[in-house]
Amino acid sequence: MTKPRRIGVLTGGGDCPGLNAVIRAVTKTALSHEIEVLGIEDGYLGLIEGRARPLDDADVSNILTDGGTILGSSNTADPTHWRTGIDAAGEPLYADVTERCLGHLDDWGAEALVLIGGDGTMSLAQPFVEAGVSCVGVPKTIDNDVWGTDLTFGFLTAAATATDALDRVHTTAASHHRVIAVEVMGRNAGWLALHSGVASGSDVILLPEIPFSWQSICDAIERRRARGKRFTVICVSEGAAPLGGDQVVARRVEDSPDPIRLGGLAQQVALEVEQRLGVVARHVVLGHVQRGGPPIAADRVLATEFGARACQLLVEGRSGRMVARHGFDAVDIDLSEPANKQRKVPLEHPLIRAARQLATSFGD
């Protein structure tokens, strides 16, 4: 592969802080190498529907600090499983529209793609790689669960936002002598709950990787009450589940590549604690608050580094790669490596061991 003359860039999946910083870095780096840039709107949806626009220096100036994405995003568009209508029985009809997407790339003269997203976005890139499109992935997600990288941009900002919310809940829980369960995002990986829970000094942290028991949670609350602590803050990852039980599913979005939408565990925790201990318990769901707002400095730096490196890989004629962070080093790995995988918290993670030494309960 030689240096492309024109590239497309898209932001797939859920939004997170730092997306605009990557778009800026990709565009500015490309322009410095005399490569034209097309911004594909609304992730894979724009690729399916043929919607894109040129990006120049003016388009990406002053967006480094902005949250969200100037290109828009979609977490339901899957070119390999696209809803085309309904049959006579009212059932949805689906088709693989990858060829349509490839046709749009040809029409635009786009010779390469920079795909900014999580594990779903990387998985959906594979048909384009197999079709000969030069692709480079940039890993983003507040869940920090993309396989093959120690860190995704967006995570650190979300952890800071969740920590701030937990800090605020701490004061009202103490004032009213209540148990408050705070639900954070993360899907099947507990990175966000672990980091924000430890950073906020939460008394109980529930992770998807560690099945919990109701009795263990109640025992932790009772131990605190015996020491004169009349309140407890519980940081709940949305994907956690009781021993032998199931995750709480809020709803299903059938047209989405990832149809399961988790949510509701914090409310269940508060109700169980009230019934078992007779104490006042409340719940808070942070939801999309964790996704919003400007990226913190660390995410701006990481996003800029990732974006510049992704474009540089294409300049060097390299394809089928994903930029990643291993320790303190910026590296790149095969784009197929993170496909259909999730990076979860190891049970022997140093932060779990440290939290246990501080008498933090994980409900086990």
Give the catalytic positions in this structure.
Answer: 143
- From residue 68, alpha-carbon distances to 15, 58, 73, 294, 359 in Å are 6, 18, 9, 8, 37
Q: What is the CA radius of gyration of the chain?
A: 22
Kindly give, in sequence order, each residue whose CB lies less than 8 Å from that of residue 92, ignoring residues fewer than 6 positions away: 83, 85, 86, 254, 255
Kindly give, in sequence order, each residue whose CB lies less than 8 Å from that of residue 40, ignoring residues fewer than 6 positions away: 8, 9, 10, 46, 47, 51, 52, 71
| Of residues 224, 226, 162, the one with CA closest to residue 192 | 162
Q: Are 19 and 140 in contact (CB under 8 A)?
A: yes
Q: Mapping DSSP to helix (H, G, I), strand (E, B) and coil, where does residue 258 land?
A: coil
| Of residues 118, 172, 119, the one with CA closest to residue 291 | 118
* SS3 sequence of 90-137: CCEEEECCHHHHHHHHHHHCCCEEEEEECHHHHHHCHHHHHCCCEEEE
Q: What are phi and psi of 172, to 5 degrees?
A: -75, -30
- From residue 31, alpha-carbon distances to 24, 308, 311 in Å are 11, 11, 10
| Of residues 157, 126, 124, the one with CA closest to residue 15 | 157
Residue 253 CB neighbour total at 10 angstroms: 12
Alpha helices in the chain (DSSP H): 19-32, 44-49, 57-60, 98-108, 119-124, 126-130, 155-176, 191-200, 214-226, 265-277, 297-315, 350-357
